[in-house]
Chains A and B, each alone.
Chain A
């Protein structure tokens, strides 16, 4: 086959018009998802069965089902219910954008919660004991000892998850949003040239992945500065 270079040079700028939406979906969902993750985590480690149980079930369901299914349930499924349409959430769930953000955030929350829990479990038990022996309360130990160390331990996995989230934003195109993927699909529908368009799109996503990883790499380095042997 012959590669149509003019098509590539024409379609890249068009797809880049959707990068704002892609990035916005990623950032908004990352922030909301992380907040949700913290709530789920606190429930999970509370030791109170009526908080632990809902948190564990939630995480199990959202990690155990495809995100595309979650998006479709929220976008096509929820509006079927009268209660939803009458609720305060309707202005959000009526819009495809709102649905995409809600689905991506709910999904990210489940994954990130487990990542943060992994960080907490990775903190040396002896440090908590040292804090206890000094008379720090459970809460003080959690805030001043466990959390800062757990964050550092969780960064690499968190970074991977944000990359996943960034890639998942492409699914928003299935509910009519014109993110980069949505625009690419429109171009393909007009030009019947999936090869050129999607390869170019893949390259854009790879570049974004590169920068996300780079950014988190720096953050991790900053958070790990105290582990270096030399000052």
Chain B
């Protein structure tokens, strides 16, 4: 499935998702190639979280097909685990394990899932803590860190599994304004290093400078998608225009 030398890492084909009678995703088609950065935006309830949560099976899609690195996501636990190892995720609410120190938060999955030895896991953990610029917090508990620091730990924790793709679900929207940039800086670094990323965010400055494609969702559908320049300067759809005017007013 290579077109003009690009390797698709994530492919969604006609994906539907229902919660009871309510259809949260309607016929989603999307391809994300290796090294590509996709920003997803849209009003609350439009299905942004649901879409990216389907990619690592935190939600189960009920129509269409999803491929990650060529592997189809089915109900098979082995496939799900294999996909989850390739896909890192960062949540709005950090979700650090409160009973483990920062470094142990980072070591847990490599030890349990990758069967890394303790020394090796610690070494990897410290490397990624340096990368998110908080190695000195390694032995603190999450509750002792600021929101921005916690989110950077969460990013480092996902990176320790050496994922092919990173999913971000509004990583800065629970943060105090003065902490947003320290998290965005880390994400920009990641993008520079060539990480494949899907970011749900309303940080339009970040989107403009980092995204290859911006995707606008509304009511469970992909309404519009394009490179930042076209997206911001010549939005085609009325819903996109309305949304952008609201976002920019803030």
Taking a contact as CB atoms under 8 Å apart, the answer to whether B85 and A130 are in contact is no
Contact partner, A135, options B84, B91, B97, Cβ 8 Å = B84
Instruction: Answer whether A144 and B112 are a contact pair too, CB < 8 Å, given A124-B95, A129-B95, A133-B88.
Output: yes
A228, CB-defined interface residue at 8 Å: yes
Mask, A120-140, CB within 8 Å of B = 1, is 000010110111111111001
Taking a contact as CB atoms under 8 Å apart, the answer to whether A134 and B81 are in contact is no
Taking a contact as CB atoms under 8 Å apart, the answer to whether B143 and A140 are in contact is no
User: Which residues in B have their C-beta under 8 angstroms from that of A136?
Assistant: 108-109, 112-113
User: Which residues in B have their C-beta under 8 angstroms from that of A228?
Assistant: 141, 143-144
| Bound Cα distance from A132 to B113, whole angstroms | 11
A149, CB-defined interface residue at 8 Å: yes
Interface size on A, residues (CB 8 A): 24
Instruction: Answer whether A140 and B112 are a contact pair too, CB < 8 Å, given A130-B95, A148-B99, A228-B144.
Output: yes
Taking a contact as CB atoms under 8 Å apart, the answer to whether B158 and A134 are in contact is yes
Q: How far is the CB of B91 from chain A (nearest CB, A)?
A: 6
Taking a contact as CB atoms under 8 Å apart, the answer to whether B98 and A126 are in contact is no
Taking a contact as CB atoms under 8 Å apart, the answer to whether A132 and B144 are in contact is no
Taking a contact as CB atoms under 8 Å apart, the answer to whether B144 and A135 are in contact is no
Q: How far is the CB of B45 from chain A (nearest CB, A)?
A: 19
| Bound Cα distance from A127 to B157, whole angstroms | 13
Q: Can you name 17 A-B pairs with beta carbons within 8 Å?
A: A124-B95, A126-B91, A126-B93, A130-B91, A130-B95, A130-B97, A131-B97, A132-B56, A132-B84, A133-B56, A134-B161, A135-B84, A136-B113, A137-B81, A145-B97, A226-B142, A226-B143
Taking a contact as CB atoms under 8 Å apart, the answer to whether B113 and A127 are in contact is no
A231, CB-defined interface residue at 8 Å: yes
Of chain A, the residue at the smallest CB distance from B108 is A144
A229, CB-defined interface residue at 8 Å: yes
Instruction: Answer whether A134 and B93 are a contact pair too, CB < 8 Å, given A226-B98, A231-B140.
Output: no
Contact partner, A149, options B98, B140, B141, B158, Cβ 8 Å = B98
Taking a contact as CB atoms under 8 Å apart, the answer to whether A134 and B113 are in contact is yes
Q: How large is the interface on B (under 10, 10 to 19, 20 to 34, 35 or more residues)?
A: 20 to 34
User: Which residues in A have their C-beta under 8 angstroms from that of B87?
Assistant: 133
Of chain A, the residue at the smallest CB distance from B101 is A226
Of chain A, the residue at the smallest CB distance from B87 is A133
A86, CB-defined interface residue at 8 Å: no
Instruction: Answer whether A134 and B91 are a contact pair too, CB < 8 Å, given A149-B98, A149-B99.
Output: no
| Bound Cα distance from A230 to B141, whole angstroms | 9
Taking a contact as CB atoms under 8 Å apart, the answer to whether A127 and B97 are in contact is yes
Q: B residues bordering A, Cβ < 8 Å?
A: 56, 58, 77, 81, 84-85, 87-89, 91, 93, 95-101, 108-109, 112-113, 140-144, 154, 157-158, 161
| Bound Cα distance from A134 to B109, whole angstroms | 6
| Bound Cα distance from A227 to B144, whole angstroms | 8
Q: How far is the CB of A145 from chain B (nearest CB, A)?
A: 6
Contact partner, A133, options B84, B97, B100, B142, Cβ 8 Å = B84
Mask, A210-231, CB within 8 Å of B = 1, is 0000000000000000111111
Of chain B, the residue at the smallest CB distance from A144 is B108
User: Which residues in A have their C-beta under 8 angstroms from that of B101?
Assistant: 226
| Bound Cα distance from A124 to B96, whole angstroms | 11
Of chain B, the residue at the smallest CB distance from A230 is B144
User: Which residues in A have their C-beta under 8 angstroms from that of B158?
Assistant: 133-134
Taking a contact as CB atoms under 8 Å apart, the answer to whether B84 and A127 are in contact is no
| Bound Cα distance from A226 to B142, whole angstroms | 8
Which chain A residues numbered 172 to 231 have a C-beta less than 8 Å away from chain B? 226-231
Of chain B, the residue at the smallest CB distance from A149 is B99
| Bound Cα distance from A137 to B161, whole angstroms | 15
User: Which residues in A have their C-beta under 8 angstroms from that of B108?
Assistant: 134, 136, 144
Q: How far is the CB of A129 from chain B (nearest CB, A)?
A: 5
Of chain B, the residue at the smallest CB distance from A126 is B95
Mask, A14-25, CB within 8 Å of B = 1, is 000000000000
Q: How far is the CB of A76 from chain B (nearest CB, A)?
A: 47
Taking a contact as CB atoms under 8 Å apart, the answer to whether B95 and A127 are in contact is yes
Known: A133-B158, A134-B88, A228-B141. 11 other contacts (CB 8 A): A126-B91, A127-B97, A132-B84, A134-B108, A134-B157, A134-B161, A135-B81, A135-B85, A144-B108, A231-B141, A231-B144
Of chain A, the residue at the smallest CB distance from B157 is A134
